[in-house]
Structure 1
Amino acid sequence: MERINFYSVKQVKEKSELYHLNSKKVSSPEDANQIIQTVLDLNNEAVEKFGILTLDSRNVVAGIHVLAIGTLNAVLIHPREVFKAAILNNAASIVLFHNHPSGDPTPSEEDIEITQRIVDAGELMLIEVLDHIITGDGKYCSMAEQGLLNKGQSDPEK
């Protein structure tokens, strides 16, 4: 006879706090940025932080997750980590976010590349990536508004 282990995967809420928000619903990039800045204030960080807002089917924020902390000008993230948090939070969709300590929220080539990989993975898992908000020095860039999400255009060569 062989022993087989059984596992149960559960999510544990770290904490719950009250914030002065106009709404928990994300209807625009500005809404997402307001929630991110109110909860995390990424403008004062010395290193890059990457995370997600998990949203329910009505685009109401179910949770905020900081998934990776990097260095002055880089943060490593894998789509697996993004969707592990999204699945555990039962997300219908997500908004990616990270900060640029340099103050310039313009997406780098690396930002565009990893965002596309995450968008492609989300399409397979039926968890839509609504946007990737990059913050810096009180400003933000919405990759969705810039037309940089390229939904439904995954590269079959990759």
Structure 2
Amino acid sequence: MSYRIPVVKVQLVRERTLHTEVLQIRCAKDAADLLQAYLEGVDREHGVVLILDTKHKVRGIQTVSIGSLDASILHPREILKVAILGNASGIILGHNHPSGDPEPSPEDEIISQRLAKACQLMGIDFLDHLILGDGGFVSLKERGLF
């Protein structure tokens, strides 16, 4: 019996560009400003990955999850898929809280810890997890939550 097995090609495709003043991430505020511009006007929780090179220049941005008003499923597998396809040296995870309150939930802390372990295994720097709210943000890295 003969079988046909598909030969596949996996690649990252440029969808559009985002005009921004931020090219290199030097601090959490740089990343928060970029994420804020990218997420402007969304009405549900979005999980986003910033793909960074060795000098922390942004090489891409990808939405990895769209949830509801108060929840979004973020899984390390989906986040790392983007990092690997983007040939990332490091990543920053960000998501918005449509409620406007950027305080991290217990689930936010758990995903940060799981992602930190997964990134370490893959040799990718997990630089931060930012939560954006009305006019502000919280850095889980700066709070020592992973």
Unaligned runs of 5+ in 1: 150-158
Q: What is the CA–CA distance in structure 2 between the aligned matches of 1:87 and 1:35, rounded to whole Å? A: 21
**Deviation of residue 2 (structure 1)?**
4.5
**Deviation of residue 3 (structure 1)?**
4.0
Q: What is the CA–CA distance in structure 2 between the aligned matches of 1:88 and 1:4, rounded to whole Å? A: 23
1:14 aligns with 15
**Deviation of residue 113 (structure 1)?**
0.4
**Deviation of residue 11 (structure 1)?**
1.5
**TM-score w.r.t. length of structure 1:** 0.86
Counterpart AA for 1:86: A
Pick from 119, 122, 125: which aligns with 1:122?
A: 119
SS at match of 1:140: strand
Q: For the structure 1 residues 142 and 7, does the alpha-carbon distance in structure 2 shift closer, same or farther, using more than 3 Å as the test? A: same
C-alpha contact 2:129 2:139 (8 A) present in aligned 1:
yes
**TM-score w.r.t. length of structure 2:** 0.93
Counterpart AA for 2:12: Q
SS at match of 1:38: helix
Q: What is the CA–CA distance in structure 1 between the aligned matches of 2:13 and 2:57, rounded to whole Å? A: 20
Q: What is the CA–CA distance in structure 1 between the aligned matches of 2:131 and 2:142, rounded to whole Å? A: 12
1:135 aligns with 132
C-alpha contact 2:20 2:34 (8 A) present in aligned 1:
no
- Sequence identity (%): 43
2:144 aligns with 147
Q: What is the CA–CA distance in structure 2 between the aligned matches of 1:47 and 1:39, rounded to whole Å? A: 13
Q: What is the CA–CA distance in structure 1 between the aligned matches of 2:142 and 2:49, rounded to whole Å? A: 18
Unaligned runs of 5+ in 2: none
State the 4+ residue runs in structure 1 displaced beyond 6 angstroms. Answer: none
**Cα RMSD after superposing both structures:** 1.3
